[in-house]
Amino acid sequence: MVEFARYYIDLLRNFFINIGEFFGSIFQAFADFFVRNVGEYFNSFIRATSQFEILDWVMAFFVIVINLVFLVFLILKLYQWLSKYVRFMGREIEKDELLEEIAFLNQKTVELVDERNKILALKVSNLGLSPEEEEMTEEKILEDEIKAKEPSRFVKLITVDNEYKNRVTQIHMREEDMINLNEIVARFINFSANRLGLFYSRQIIAAFFAGMASSKTMILEGISGTGKTSLPYAMGKFFKNDAHIIAVQPSWRDRAEMMGYLNEFTKRFNETEFLEAIYETTYHNDINIIVLDEMNLARVEYYFAEFLSLLEMPDPEQWLVDVVPDEQPSDPEHMHRGKILLPQNVWFVGTANKDDSTFTITDKVYDRAIPIIINTKAEFIDAPETEGISITNDYLQELFNSALEENNLSLKAAKNLERLDKFITENFKVTFGNRIMKQIRTFVPVYVACGGSENEALDYMIARKIFRKFEGLNLPFLQREITDLSALLDHLFGKNSFVECHAFLDSIKKTF
């Protein structure tokens, strides 16, 4: 045992001596290479220079310079390699630190989600909701939290949401406001004259309400200064819900100019005043009027085509206006899947002048809208003090439906219209069409309920919906047909009873 111990101690001593000699030899090699050998190189060079001639010195200079450059290059390369290695190691260390921090944050996120679920479960248990309602409530709370934190791409529409958030907009009608259409017309005329200094005839106002029953789109035409824009403005004041007046721009070429568009660069929607007006109507159950002022400064059938088709759909649940192709949690409250459901309580009223700066309104637009021509100012009315009216859309629709039941188009008038349609089709190649007949069957009863007569309503619609189409015909070759048409009107509806139609035909005859 003693002998082995001596052997093992000698082994360890020799081992460490060998290690010391190994490192000593390395240090000695470095010392020889960088100190003694360098000095020897200089000494040998000095000894050799004693025999150098001029050419030898020139060659020596160039060789020394080249060697020095090569040495500096090696040192720089070594420095670059070392720097890259240090940076690489630094990034690896930072990456490890970031991974550790991400793992820590993920753990905290899981803990916060668990805590939120516990709070939601406590709230739901206090409300006593079913499991399905609990899930919906959690989704609603989460959606509200996201909306509160995430900026929306619809700044103006979100502002509308905030304005109406804690505001009661549902109209509860008073007993004194529950009046019939005839009384509404009289009350508006007095209100407009007394409160606004605007004067309108009963015929124009009756036609306006009958137009509201017949179509969601109306066109007010006439010379400038006759109160075209003022009429829907006054209606808004009368119904205690101001009309939105949108100035149409000549640059409007498509719906994007009117509705706005999503900016792909900023990811924000460029909202227009028209889009904001439409969205605001979703918070109301009363009458909403949106005015397209000077609507024929641009081509109506270009920028408004979608709405013309949309409002023709028989199911109001299909009145969906496409705004964006996708849905985000921060989108406005009344926008679903990027669409806004157009409410039934909104009407579009366009004003139009006929001059060199405007475009001609096409038949596609005229056929779907109710045109109302205002070329003269009504006479002054000394009206009594009159207040506006608070009325819901449902109540107004009930008045329209009652008018259709009580003042349905008479059988005699319907047969006379068929004969008139047949004559016009055969001689002028113009027909009433199903859409126009449907409008007439709605317009006439409501016009009568507003205090007018059946013949007056028929005269109004035929002159503006049918005879207007004659403007595109070669009229000088239709003189006899026009004279026969005038005689037929007297025969069917009574002599000189159709004042508007006869006035139109007389104006045509003057152009011959």
Residue bearing the bigger pLDDT, 96 or 446: 446
**Whether the predicted pLDDT of 35 surpasses 80:** no
Tell me the average pLDDT across 196-223: 93
Tell me the average pLDDT across 484-499: 88
Burial of 236 (0-12, 13-18, 19+ CB in 10 A): buried
**Whether the predicted pLDDT of 89 surpasses 90:** no
Tell me the average pLDDT across 281-298: 92
Tell me the average pLDDT across 324-333: 89
Strands 320-322 and 339-341: antiparallel
Tell me the average pLDDT across 431-459: 92
Tell me the average pLDDT across 216-234: 89
**Whether the predicted pLDDT of 439 surpasses 70:** yes
In terms of DSSP H, where are the helices of 129-180? 131-149, 155-163
CATH for the stretch 175-373: 3.40.50.300
Output phi, psi for 454, to 5 deg. -65, -45
d(CA 60, CA 51): 13
Burial of 199 (0-12, 13-18, 19+ CB in 10 A): middle
Tell me the average pLDDT across 203-229: 91
Residue 122 pLDDT: 65
pLDDT, mean over the chain: 84
d(CA 166, CA 144): 15
Across 123-137, 386-400, 429-443, least confident range: 123-137
Residue 30 pLDDT: 65
Q: Which of 172-176, 457-461, 496-500 has the highest mean pLDDT?
A: 457-461
d(CA 281, CA 271): 16
d(CA 345, CA 334): 16
**Whether the predicted pLDDT of 397 surpasses 70:** yes
Nearest C-alpha neighbor of 319 from the set 301, 345, 294, 296: 345
**Whether the predicted pLDDT of 69 surpasses 90:** no
d(CA 371, CA 436): 12
The token pair at 265 is 């660069």
**Whether the predicted pLDDT of 477 surpasses 80:** no
E strand intervals along 280-398: 288-293, 320-322, 335-336, 339-341, 346-352, 370-373
Nearest C-alpha neighbor of 236 from the set 384, 380, 350, 389: 389
In terms of DSSP H, where are the helices of 228-293? 230-238, 255-259, 273-281
**Whether the predicted pLDDT of 267 surpasses 70:** yes
pLDDT bin (cut points 50, 70, 90) of residue 358 is confident
Q: Which of 164-173, 262-271, 283-292 has the highest mean pLDDT?
A: 283-292
Residue 295 pLDDT: 92
Tell me the average pLDDT across 262-285: 90
**Whether the predicted pLDDT of 269 surpasses 60:** yes
Residue 77 pLDDT: 83
Residue 150 pLDDT: 64
d(CA 128, CA 322): 38
d(CA 337, CA 305): 22
- Spatial contact of 355 and 377, defined as CB atoms under 8 Å apart: no
**Whether the predicted pLDDT of 52 surpasses 80:** no
Tell me the average pLDDT across 211-227: 89
pLDDT bin (cut points 50, 70, 90) of residue 121 is low
pTM of the model as a whole = 0.70
Tell me the average pLDDT across 108-130: 65
According to the 3-state scheme, what is the secondary structure of 84-103? Answer: HHHHHHHHHHHHHHHHHHHH
